[in-house]
Each structure stands twice: as structure tokens, then as C-alpha cells.
């Protein structure tokens, strides 16, 4: 017996995520994970906290040396994060 009313699981999950308002939170979590992957182990170990307000990504770091290095590259980091996410999520990176 064949079912006539079937849905692809991917579509069902996407609809559920949108209906429950989880899309933004999942994108932010993916962005935070991408930060650690993209910038490597040293930066990940020195990253204390990451959070977003609007379209600004705030990153708290333990090391002033790492902070200064990233400060010089911050626009390139923003561009690469947006590129890897497949959409423009952040406009600015603030390093604390």
C-alpha cells in the first residue's frame, strides 16, 4: 500500500522551525560554532563569550594579543562569516 500524502522530512523540520520561531536562534548557534571552526583552536580557547545584539556580534576574549590580532582582521572576519553562513547576518564585530 502506497501513501498518497507524504512529506519530505527536511521540509517538515524547516516548517516546524519557522512556525516555532527557532530559526534565528539556530542561525546564531551555527554562527558561534563557525567562529570556533573558522578561527581555529587558539582563538576558540581564548574566546570567553559570544553573543549578538541586532546585527552586531560581540566576542569577549581572554587574551589581549589575540584581541589585537583579530581587531586588525575584523572586517575580513565579518565578510567570511557571512559568506560561510550563506547570508548576511552580521554587520559589525565588537571585540572585548
Mean pLDDT of 3-20: 77
Tell whether 1 is covered by a domain.
no
Residues of the domain holding 84: 9-95
Mean pLDDT of 23-32: 85
Tell whether 4 is covered by a domain.
no
The count of structural domains within the chain is: 1
- From residue 74, give the alpha-carbon distance in Å to each of 16, 57, 67: 35, 11, 10
Pick from 24, 92, 86, 23: which is nearest to 59 by CA? 92
pLDDT at 2 over 70: no
pLDDT digits (tens, 9 = 90+) for 49-71: 999 999 999 999 999 999 999 99
Tell whether 72 is covered by a domain.
yes
C-alpha 90/C-alpha 81 separation (Å) is 8
Tell whether 60 is covered by a domain.
yes
pLDDT at 74 over 80: yes
Q: What is the pTM of this model?
A: 0.77
Mean pLDDT of 33-59: 93
78, 92 in Cβ contact below 8 A? yes
Which grid cell sits at 11? Answer: 521540509
Amino acid at each position: 500500500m502506497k501513501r498518497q500524502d507524504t512529506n519530505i522530512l527536511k521540509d517538515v523540520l524547516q516548517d516546524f522551525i519557522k512556525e516555532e520561531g527557532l530559526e534565528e536562534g539556530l542561525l546564531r548557534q551555527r554562527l558561534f560554532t563557525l567562529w570556533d571552526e573558522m578561527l581555529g583552536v587558539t582563538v576558540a580557547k581564548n574566546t570567553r563569550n559570544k553573543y549578538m545584539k541586532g546585527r552586531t556580534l560581540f566576542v569577549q576574549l581572554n587574551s589581549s594579543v589575540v584581541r589585537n590580532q583579530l581587531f586588525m582582521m575584523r572586517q575580513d572576519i565579518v565578510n567570511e562569516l557571512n559568506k560561510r553562513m550563506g547570508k548576511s547576518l552580521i554587520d559589525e564585530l565588537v571585540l572585548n
